[in-house]
């Protein structure tokens, strides 16, 4: 027996449809479709019809390679409309002689998610970070533990309802039901982070075409998330303006000659480019690197500011892990280490099986991570639209995972 899961990564630069088969707990990639994005900007849908065309093409390729007709998907989510907060839920343990029960956890989570939300926003993620029983902190699996008072710390991610409805409409237009939305950084973390990094303290930065998505992990769970509306598109745009060239020419220049370390490039190293007007010009790679370095440094300054505001400055022993297409820029880790003063590494999806040649790249961390998310405990808990003012949820496998042995 096998379970078929489908992830749809709708990005600013590309649409990636990935189909996986879960066989005895192991993920096998059996379908893949990649298509350049259309109708997207800074992680958000700008044109539903255009975006649906690109999504349809990617899905068709995934269906052809997998042999399955797809009907529902876990969909990636980005954009500056996303925000997050942390909240606590506290309840009395109903029958202390029996220890903590599933019902106790449900009530604690009910309290935790009772936060004021504007009508045009909704909860997308409600992630339990840790539990406390009678002052004993750091509890991860409270079922069966004895005490009188149960507390749960949660990380709550909200998003603008219209933005999610636009994504939903794009999927609906091509016959796909958006089963769940997952923040890019959280999906990428499932694909590239080690458990030891999550425990020690690590920051993952998914730097895509239109956004940079952050997730800070410590004590094994996510403690902070943030989305910035800046990414690889802005680097390319800087190059296009500087060269007075088309965006496509600038993108090719960035990929072929781009570097973030001007001090390490020979000033005599030049290349030829054709700007608007058709007359070729010579450009120094060192000059190009100065342009790229300035924008990349700006991105990491934003990251540093966010880390400081989160209160975890100096508390990330595992450093920063970079994913996303822009993470492939030469020398990007050097800039990250200089600005943030922590170790930096570029990561690609690991432990892949099946149709994986294309996926061995930081650009596909979110795509693979959507499938990993579907297999994780976090997937089992999904807030639903409120009914009579109370948020519902599905605990499923999450609660099962809390049960002893």
DSSP string, 114-130: -----TTEEEEEEEEEE
Label residue 337 exposed, middle or buried (CB < 10 Å: 0-12, 13-18, 19+).
middle
Res 355: pLDDT: 87
Eight-class DSSP state of 354: B
> Which residue in this structure is represented by tokens 């100096």?
314
Res 386: pLDDT: 41
What are the structure tokens assigned to 50, written together?
């255009």
Res 269: pLDDT: 96
Long-range contacts (CB closer than 8 Å, 24 or more residues apart) made by 247-253: 249/273, 249/274, 249/275, 253/283, 253/288
Sign of the four-CA dihedral 238, 244, 247, 252: negative
Class of domain 83-159+384-402: alpha beta
Res 88: pLDDT: 95
Pick the CATH number of 194-346 from 3.30.40.10, 2.60.120.260, 3.30.420.40, 1.25.40.10: 3.30.420.40
Res 134: pLDDT: 93
Res 277: pLDDT: 76
HSE-CB at 342 with a 13 A cutoff on CA atoms is 22
Domain boundaries, the chain: 83-159+384-402, 194-346
Res 404: pLDDT: 47
Res 397: pLDDT: 42
Q: Are 296 and 303 in contact (CB under 8 A)?
A: no
* Torsion angle in degrees (nearest 10) through CA of 405, 106, 383, 160: -130
Single pTM value for the model: 0.90
Res 382: pLDDT: 56
Instruction: Work out the percent of the chain whose per-residue pLDDT is above 90.
Output: 80
CA-CA distance, 345 to 262, in Å (whole number)?
A: 20
CA-CA distance, 390 to 117, in Å (whole number)?
A: 12
CA-CA distance, 186 to 244, in Å (whole number)?
A: 37
Cα three-residue angle 316-318-324, rounded to 5 degrees: 100
Res 96: pLDDT: 67
Residues in the chain: 405
CA-CA distance, 262 to 126, in Å (whole number)?
A: 43
Mean pLDDT by 10 residues, the chain (405 residues): 89 96 91 96 95 97 96 95 95 84 88 92 92 92 91 95 96 95 97 95 97 95 94 96 94 96 95 87 96 97 96 92 97 97 96 92 97 81 42 39 47
Cα three-residue angle 383-386-387, rounded to 5 degrees: 130
The DSSP bridge partners found for residue 213 are 206, 227
């Amino acid at each position: 027996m096998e379970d078929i899961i489908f992830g749809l990564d709708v990005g600013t630069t590309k649409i990636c449809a990935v189909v996986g088969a879960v066989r005895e707990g192991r993920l096998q990639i059996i379908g893949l479709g990649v298509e350049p994005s259309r109708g997207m900007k800074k992680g958000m849908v700008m044109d539903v019809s255009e975006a649906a065309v690109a999504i349809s093409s990617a899905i068709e390729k995934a269906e052809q390679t997998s042999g399955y007709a797809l009907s529902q998907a876990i969909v990636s989510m980005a954009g500056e409309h996303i925000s997050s907060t942390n909240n606590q839920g506290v309840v009395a343990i109903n029958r202390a002689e029996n220890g903590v029960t599933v019902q106790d956890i449900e009530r604690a989570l009910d309290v935790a998610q009772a936060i004021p939300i504007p009508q045009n926003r909704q909860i997308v993620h409600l992630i339990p970070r840790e539990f406390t029983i009678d002052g004993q902190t750091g509890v991860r699996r409270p079922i069966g533990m004895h005490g009188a008072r149960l507390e749960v710390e949660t990380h709550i991610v909200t998003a603008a309802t219209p933005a999610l409805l636009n994504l939903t409409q794009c999927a609906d237009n091509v016959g796909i039901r958006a089963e769940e939305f997952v923040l890019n950084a959280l999906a990428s973390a499932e694909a590239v982070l080690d458990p030891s990094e999550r425990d020690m303290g690590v920051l993952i930065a998914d730097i895509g075409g239109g956004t940079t998505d952050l997730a800070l992990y410590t004590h094994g769970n996510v403690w902070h998330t943030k989305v910035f509306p800046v990414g690889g598109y802005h680097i390319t745009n800087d190059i296009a303006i500087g060269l007075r060239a088309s965006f496509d020419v600038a993108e090719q220049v960035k990929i072929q000659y781009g570097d973030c370390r001007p001090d390490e490039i020979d000033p005599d190293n030049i290349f030829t480019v054709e700007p608007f007007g058709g007359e070729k010009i010579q450009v120094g790679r060192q000059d190009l690197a100065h342009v790229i370095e300035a924008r990349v440094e700006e991105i990491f300054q934003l990251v540093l500011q966010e880390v400081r505001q989160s209160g975890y400055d100096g508390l990330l022993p595992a450093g920063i892990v970079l994913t996303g297409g822009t993470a492939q820029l030469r020398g990007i880790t050097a800039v990250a280490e200089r600005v943030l003063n922590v170790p930096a590494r570029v990561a690609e999806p690991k432990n892949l099986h099946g149709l994986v040649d294309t996926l061995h790249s930081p650009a596909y961390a979110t795509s693979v991570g959507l499938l990993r998310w579907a297999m994780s405990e976090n997937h089992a808990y999904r807030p639903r639209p409120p009914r009579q003012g109370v948020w519902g949820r599905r605990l499923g496998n999450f609660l099962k995972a809390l049960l002893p042995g």
